[in-house]
A = this chain, B = another copy of it.
Amino acid sequence: MTDVETLGQHACCGGSVRFLRHQSSELGVPATFGIFLPKEALAGEKVPVVHVLGGLTCTHETFLIKSNAVRFAAEHGIALVAPDTSPRNTGTAGEDDEYDLGTGAGFYVDATHAPWSAHYRMESYIRKELPALTESLFPLDGNRRGIMGHSMGGMGALNQALNHPEFWKTVSALAPICHPSVIPWGRKAFDAYFGGDPAKWKECDPTLLLRSGHQHPTSILVDQGLQDQYLADLRPDALVEAAKECGQALDMRRHDDSDHSYWFIQTVIADHLSHHAKGLKA
């Protein structure tokens, strides 16, 4: 058992929000994450769990406190696990220089190129290390595990679910980066983390994954605001087209007046928890 330090614990909506830190073997540094345990879990019942991935610049706390997700997770008796968006304080040269690379911008991939490859291993962290750790500590049901995220985290959730559909039983995304390999954010991160190897792109680009035969057995829920200031870089149409071509069920809901903010997330979050509850508690 890894040593885990409790940094904070707060009663919320009948359950408990906790912040924990552990020495991550994948990341090679201490990592902090948040978790919400509904009252059913506090009573010892094994509950479904949804992992929530934040966007650029977010921490392990941002999505939990700003999204309103806890209220609806409590209503459904679902736990939430919220990792950070990158390793921190790794000593990697340049990691704090830009908001969209390094700290706060791990893109949920395993870097293969130095200097990033030593610590920037968020893909393995959120799929291998964090679920195993949290499921060893708390009554979370590994057979009922979903994933969702916002923006860069929406991309991470889609990539995880399409690469490992047996591991993540349900998936949804809020304003996700749908086709990172063709836009500046994604190309910059992929060029750094993969050293310019385009062969890696198809493993972490939701649109390319769909085009190369990856699918998820459930319908994917995506919400996208049409006033989103980053709409041109998110490429929801590419995801819709790829899903249509391969027969992937996808419910892409577009909202005329919504932007990219947590105000948008607060507007639709109840539907995302209902989506996961329906899939995980069926």
Residues of chain A whose beta carbon lies under 8 Å from any beta carbon of chain B: 10-14, 17, 65-66, 68, 70-71, 225, 227, 255, 257-259, 261-264, 266-267
Which residues from B are CB-within-8-Å of A17? Answer: 263
Minimum distance in angstroms from A50 CB to a CB of chain B: 18
Rank and list the top 3 A-B pairs by shortest CB-CB distance, nearest first. Answer: A10-B263, A12-B263, A11-B257
* Docked-complex contact A227 and B263, CB < 8 angstroms: no
**How far apart are A64's CB and chain B's nearest CB, in angstroms?**
9
CA distance A258 to B263 in the complex (A): 26
Nearest chain B residue, comparing its CB with the CB of A266 = B12
**Contact across chains for B11 and A255 when beta carbons are under 8 A apart:** yes
Task: Pull 24 A–B residue pairs with CB atoms less than 8 Å apart, ordered by A.
Answer: A10-B259, A10-B263, A10-B264, A11-B227, A11-B255, A11-B257, A11-B258, A11-B259, A11-B263, A11-B264, A11-B267, A12-B263, A12-B264, A12-B266, A13-B266, A13-B267, A17-B263, A65-B66, A65-B262, A65-B263, A68-B71, A70-B263, A70-B266, A71-B266
Contact residues in B for A70 (Cβ distance below 8 Å):
263, 266
Which B residues are in CB contact (< 8 Å) with A259? Answer: 10-11
CB pair B266–A225 under 8 Å, yes or no, is no
Tell me the minimal C-beta distance from A131 to chain B in angstroms: 24
- Report the bound CA distance from A266 to B266 in whole Å: 13
Identify 6 new A-B residue pairs, CB closer than 8 A, beyond the known A11-B225, A65-B263. A10-B261, A10-B264, A11-B255, A12-B264, A68-B71, A68-B266
Give complex CA distance A267, B11 in Å.
8
Residues of B within 8 A of A65 (CB): 66, 262-263
Residues of B within 8 A of A258 (CB): 11
In the complex, which of the residues B10, B11, B68, B257 contacts A68, with contact meaning CB atoms closer than 8 Å? B68
For residue A271, give the distance in angstroms from its CB to the closest CB of chain B: 12
Interface centre among A11, A65, A255, A258 (most CB of B within 10 A): A11
A168 to B34, CA, bound (A): 39
A237 CB → nearest B CB, Å: 21
Chain B residues contacting A66 (CB-CB under 8 Å) are 65-66
Q: Determine the residue in chain B with the shortest Cβ distance to A68.
A: B68
A184 to B257, CA, bound (A): 47
Q: Which residues of B contact A257 (CB under 8 A)?
A: 11
Contacts of A266 in B (CB 8 A): 12-13, 68, 70-71
Tell me which residues across on chain B come within 8 A of A227, comparing CB atoms: 11
A216 to chain B, nearest CB (A): 29
Residue among A13, A66, A255, A263 having the largest count of chain B Cβ atoms under 10 Å: A263
Per the bound structure, the CA–CA distance linking A68 and B258 in Å amounts to 18
Query: Smallest CB-CB separation from A260: which chain B residue?
Result: B10
